[in-house]
Amino acid sequence: MTISVKNKHTLQIDEFKFRCCIGKKGSTKNKKEGDKKTPKGTFEIENLYFRKDRKEKPSTLLKCIEIKKDMGWCDDVRFPKKYNKIFKIEKKVKHEKLKRKDYKYDFLIPIKYNFNKPITGKGSCIFIHLTKDYKPTAGCVALKEKDFLIMLKLIKKNSKIKIS
């Protein structure tokens, strides 16, 4: 099963089409940290991370992991061993905080871009997460919550995402 991001406004799974938004500067084959672009290509997806304090565990075949207060995703090029990985937040390491004040990461699925042997500076923290207004992202793919929940029912652990 493949999740297809056809263009900057359409995500498709089988015959289901959902409105989405992607990086502010579109998509690219040559992603760089902080360029506000969504990486092009076909990628595996990771587990579902969710805010148990705000949301019920949804119906999905993905492994579900509760987001804890000290969880961060490293986007600091000075720390190649931690770069583009989940870690326990440290003050000196730049990161995306997963337990945010807003709703965007109430549900999130990391996209395995630059993932297994991350190249520092090639881009990090590429997620499928929530939006309410379809404003462009910093490089992620975002959906409305009702569509995200439908997507979770359709996809499996071995599903891939194809970003054109």
The SS3 of residue 148 is: helix
The answer, as to whether pTM is greater than 0.85, is yes
Domains of the chain with bracketed CATH: 2-163 (2.40.440.10)
Q: What is the pLDDT of residues 55-69, one digit of tens each?
A: 999 999 999 999 999
Q: How confident is the model at residue 1 (pLDDT cuts 50, 70, 90)?
A: confident
Average confidence score pLDDT of the chain = 97
What count of other Cβ atoms lies within 10 Å of the Cβ of residue 155?
22
Closest by Cα among 124, 58, 51 to 94: 124
Q: What is the pLDDT of residues 31-48, one digit of tens each?
A: 999 999 999 999 999 999
Closest by Cα among 7, 32, 3 to 134: 7
The CA-based angle 28-34-39, given to 5 degrees, is 25
Q: Is 72 exposed, middle or buried (0-12, 13-18, 19+ CB in 10 A)?
A: buried
Encoding tokens for residue 96? 């995306």
pLDDT at 27: 97
- What are phi and psi for residue 4, nearest 5 degrees? -110, 125
Which parts of 20-160 fold into alpha helices (H)? 145-154
Q: How confident is the model at residue 139 (pLDDT cuts 50, 70, 90)?
A: very high
